[in-house]
Chain A
């Protein structure tokens, strides 16, 4: 998809607004990163192929870490993601803490 500069500005703005909105609620743990289109897949035996998986029609494009009391709250935050208008989806997972007791 080709975008004009104004459209890019608008799209970037939407993403910044989404993440900024989470940050404003003091629920942003890590703004994370967007992920590039190129990649590699490594399998047992050191076999490396071009990635991401060609068979999977969904490709991970970014990660964000939020800080909420419940999974439901995190889901609410995820609902604001601009990816939906591009036909994408958001997966929400719990980060397992690594603190030593």
Chain B
């Protein structure tokens, strides 16, 4: 039984995103702040009223009713104002005034999708797309967003403000893109959702539950795309599969003190079997049609990682998949992971040769990899690399992790001497 305090934050966040999507589409980016203000006012009223009178029988319905009324009031009060201002606004206002504000499940889903396409727009920087998505689509607070990005509220506020200005300036409409543009725009949306998921998955923020929420929100938004006939395409299923596989290990990845636990050392009983099964279903659906994207490859790699078996076949498959991925698109992380897979599929010596060619000397993860590879072959070199990694690491959790590696290496060296 959730207490009021526990129920309200998630309720507010969920319902915020739904109502803002519907009102936002109605008001357009020109008046998006009005839509946000109306919803914030609604929640403030809810907090006051429910604090005194207790939770209503149906909290969501209560919120919708109050938000609708506030929106109608605002439109009525502003009709005269709007009539005197730009003619283009008049059409919106008149429509809105007569139209019932539709907070049905279907309109909410449609509005959120349209809002997603409007926000995941290449004319604003990717960080801004993610920030706006978190704010408008996911209902996160400015402070939470700042925490996720490891920055401060002023930076986030500026970022969001500039993004909205740009969207206004370019008269971006909140609607589904035309069919000819859809595939390109879908690419942008998927990239943003992928990055949003990574923020949660790889973020160095200490707030574990926030990071998990980021991942879940990214998954929820990706799932929304599968509910629409136009946007449900194989790459969407591939991305969703990828997210499910990664998320399945969320519990096992983090230890009691917030330290990250390496794949090889995770308690596999903590892996979420249901998520893995769902991921497999989505991967199957992704395997139809002719599109083959990096999400397909990453999902396949992620699939292999959900298999506990430590076989030659597994690591050779992963190695070949990383070859495919890198040929499609280079990334330093993929290069490092490929080298690790190579060390398991062939041997450490070959992997060291490949690793030395990468020359990612300024990357602390590169030195961690070399530290791992040199262990048992040349413990002296291993230690050198771990120490370089420690110097290059920027965050406290990273430094803590590397100090642990150094300690483990020392213990290991002592044992074998």
The residues of A with any CB-CB pair to B shorter than 8 Å are 13, 16-17, 19-21, 23-26, 28, 31
Contacts and interface: CB of A to CB of B under 8 A. Distances in A.
A16 B320 contact: yes
B319 A31 contact: no
B146 interface: no
13 contacts: A17-B323, A19-B327, A20-B322, A20-B327, A20-B338, A23-B330, A24-B326, A24-B338, A24-B354, A24-B358, A25-B357, A28-B326, A31-B327
Nearest to A31: B327
Contacts of B338: 20, 24
Interface string B324-367: 10110010001100110010000000000010011100000000
A16 B357 contact: no
A24 B316 CA distance: 16
3 smallest beta-carbon distances between A and B, as pairs = A20-B323, A23-B326, A24-B335
B45 to A, nearest CB: 55
Contacts of B324: 16, 20
B396 to A, nearest CB: 30
A3 to B, nearest CB: 17
B330 A19 contact: no
Contact of A13 (B320, B330, B357): B320
B353 to A, nearest CB: 10
A61 to B, nearest CB: 18
Contacts, number: 45
B308 to A, nearest CB: 24
B326 to A, nearest CB: 4
A74 to B, nearest CB: 14
Contacts of B327: 19-20, 23, 28, 31
Interface string B10-33: 000000000000000000000000
Contact of B319 (A17, A19, A26): A17
Interface centre among A16, A20, A23, A24 (most CB of B within 10 A): A24
Contacts of A16: 320, 323-324
A16 B319 CA distance: 9
Interface in B286-335: 316, 319-320, 322-324, 326-327, 330, 334-335
Contacts of B358: 24-25
A23 B326 CA distance: 6
Interface in B62-112: none
Given A24-B322, A24-B358, 19 more contacts: A13-B316, A16-B320, A16-B324, A17-B342, A19-B323, A19-B327, A20-B319, A20-B323, A20-B326, A21-B354, A23-B323, A23-B327, A23-B330, A24-B326, A24-B330, A24-B334, A24-B335, A26-B330, A28-B327
Contacts of A13: 316, 320
A16 B335 CA distance: 14
B408 to A, nearest CB: 27
Contacts of B335: 23-26
Nearest to A17: B323
A26 B335 CA distance: 9
A81 B327 CA distance: 16
A28 B331 CA distance: 12
Interface centre among B338, B339, B359 (most CB of A within 10 A): B338
Interface in B350-401: 354, 357-359
B237 to A, nearest CB: 25
A48 B187 CA distance: 45
Contacts of A25: 335, 357-359
Contacts of B334: 24
Contacts of A24: 322, 326, 330, 334-335, 338-339, 354, 357-358
A21 to B, nearest CB: 6
Nearest to B332: A26
A21 B357 contact: yes
A27 to B, nearest CB: 9
A22 B276 CA distance: 33
B318 to A, nearest CB: 12
A30 to B, nearest CB: 10
A42 to B, nearest CB: 32
A19 B324 CA distance: 9
A13 B335 CA distance: 17
Contacts of A28: 326-327, 330
Contacts of B357: 21, 24-25
A43 to B, nearest CB: 36
A26 B359 CA distance: 10
A31 B297 CA distance: 17
